[in-house]
Amino acid sequence: MFGNPQEVFVYNKSKETFLSFRVRVADSFLGRMIGLLGKRSLKTDGGVWIVPANSIHTVGMLFSFDLVMIDKDFRVVNVKEMVRPFRIVLPKLRAESVIELPTHTIFRSRTEPGDQLIIERYEAKRFPLRPVTPPQCRNAAIAATSTEMPWTDFDSRNAAVESAAMMLRHRVRLRGRHTPMS
């Protein structure tokens, strides 16, 4: 009933930018009901993903935020910037869920209706490493087994390195865009 507190990251595949790195999933009745109520602000890399929802209200809210409405395929249906307290956002029929993000997130990420989002959970993935064979036995071990490297699962490790590099490139790209002029 209460669900587990989960965090996901939201990536705009169409614009190749991150919207947020720590979005809390509100998929239980209580989580959807509370949302951001009672919070004084939203962290710059935070947010709340309310599933399912196609409209929201900000009665009782203490701050403004950006709102992204998405369909079941994570395609952006509607965006609202600077949703102020004590407002009601009317339902969008195609929207299946909404993401509440810090102000100016939509502007920084250039998100617009029609963009494709990727929403994934953070998971600590362990890639199995096979034991390293001693140098004198390595040639015999490679010849005895397949053409695969005996000491690592190369494809899995390569995918993890590429994924981490992509996240860092986009984080640096976002930081570089908003540096103060000297």
Q: What is the pLDDT of residue 32?
A: 84
Rounded Cα distance between 114 and 75, Å, is: 6
First vs last Cα of the chain: how many Å apart? 52
Confidence bin at 167 (pLDDT 50/70/90)? low
63/144 same-domain check = no
Higher pLDDT, 59 or 140: 59
98/141 same-domain check = no
Higher pLDDT, 93 or 130: 93
Q: Is residue 111 part of a domain?
A: yes
Does the structure show a pLDDT above 60 at 135? Answer: no
Does the structure show a pLDDT above 50 at 171? Answer: yes
159/79 same-domain check = no
Percent of the chain exceeding pLDDT 90 equals: 48
87/172 same-domain check = no
Instruction: Please state the pTM of the whole predicted model.
Output: 0.65
Q: Is residue 2 part of a domain?
A: no
Query: What residue has token string 């490679």?
Result: 142
Alpha-helical segments (H) within the chain: 29-34, 105-109, 135-144, 154-177
- Phi, psi (5° rounding) for residue 18? -90, 140
Query: What residue has token string 């390293």?
Result: 132
53/11 same-domain check = yes
81/167 same-domain check = no
pLDDT, tens digit (0-9, with 9 covering 90-100), for 60-104: 888 999 999 999 999 999 999 999 999 999 999 999 999 999 999
User: Beta partners for 118?
Assistant: 11
Q: What is the pLDDT of residue 125?
A: 58
Q: Is residue 26 part of a domain?
A: yes
24/70 same-domain check = yes
Give the residue-averaged pLDDT of 101-123.
92
Q: Which residues contact 149 (CB under 8 A, 6 or more apart)?
A: 142
147/84 same-domain check = no
Rounded Cα distance between 66 and 47, Å, is: 9
Q: Is residue 91 part of a domain?
A: yes
Q: What is the pLDDT of residue 180?
A: 47
Give the total residue count for the chain: 182
Range of the domain at 147: 135-177
Last residue of a domain, one of 73, 93, 121: 121
Residue 6 tokens, joined? 């989960």
- Overall number of domains in the chain: 2
Q: What is the pLDDT of residue 39?
A: 81
Q: Is residue 129 part of a domain?
A: no
Q: Is residue 128 part of a domain?
A: no
**How many helices (DSSP H) and strands (DSSP E) are in the chain?**
4, 9
CATH code (residue 101): 2.60.120.1140
Question: What order of strands is seen across the sheet that includes strand 17-26?
Answer: 76-83, 65-70, 97-101, 46-50, 17-26, 7-12, 117-121
Contact between 119 and 10 under an 8 Å Cβ cutoff? The reply is: yes
162/75 same-domain check = no
